[in-house]
Copies of this chain bind each other. A is one copy, B any other.
Amino acid sequence: MKLTVLISTCLAFILSARAEIVSKPVEYRQGDTVLEGLSVYDDATQDKRPAVLVAHQWKGLGSYEKKRAEMLARLGYNVFAVDIYGKGIRPANPQDAASEAAKYKENRTLLRSRVLSGLEQLKHHLLTDARKIGVIGYCFGGTTALELARSGADVAGVVSFHGGLGTSIPAQPGAVKAKVLALHGADDPFVPPAEVAAFEEEMRKARVDWQLVGYGGAVHSFTDWDAGSDNSKGSAYNEHADRRSWEAMKQFFAEVLK
């Protein structure tokens, strides 16, 4: 019997050691535009599983989103990090990032088309259980995730981390299928109280199942490890708010993707 236990333990160890997070660039199109997303999953099994779409910050899909996608894959989700800007378009500095992001913030129809084409990639992936899809996004990606919800996309839940909450095409009553969770830095100067209040009123009128968490002491980019620690700059990493918001997302997905 002791030998059986030993063999089982070794087998479990070998299997868990074999499990590996795979990241694969995926080229796809929206209209004539070539996009390059990232497919991320744990290849320990080939079972279909709940899936999460990740929308990027204003510098485009990069190492930050890859890391978050890997964290989600380790939680058991099949993940696709969407590319909104187009293959190779990865602004290197804040000025270029702001200008690139503005193209989509000012054209919500285009933004919706781009994120929806990423959603299609995830929906048709072999490992995706298409009845269980969630969406998350950071900063510009939070705005993108909310825009996807407003479009009426058939996803279970959408999470915005320090995303801008406004839109030029407000949600229509009864049109939003996704449950919505907005995770907000209560001291974020780029998403001021009036924008939060307008978002809440939009969600209310549209009869969305929504929640908003305000994290005291947190400013913009509170989950971004590279954002420094100086709140006076308006963007800064906040370890408390990062950890708590990740737990809130996990709890939310445990509910809506179960």
Contact = CB atoms under 8 A, between A and B. Distances in A.
A215 B200 CA distance: 10
Interface string A189-227: 000010001001001100111111111110000000000
Contact of A251 (B204, B208, B251): B251
B216 A187 contact: no
A186 B214 contact: no
Contact of A212 (B187, B204, B213, B244): B213
A122 to B, nearest CB: 26
Contacts of A20: none
Interface residues of A, number: 27
One complex includes copies of this chain to the number of 2
Interface in A32-85: none
Contact of A204 (B186, B243, B248): B186
Q: Which DSSP category, helix, strand, loop or mixed, fits chain A's interface?
A: mixed
A240 B251 CA distance: 13
A247 interface: yes
A1 interface: yes
A209 B217 contact: yes
Nearest to A217: B209
B186 A244 contact: no
A216 B204 contact: yes
B216 A208 contact: yes
Contacts of A208: 216
A210 B248 CA distance: 15
Contacts of A204: 186-187, 216-217
Pick the 4 closest A-B CB pairs, nearest first: A210-B216, A1-B1, A212-B214, A213-B213
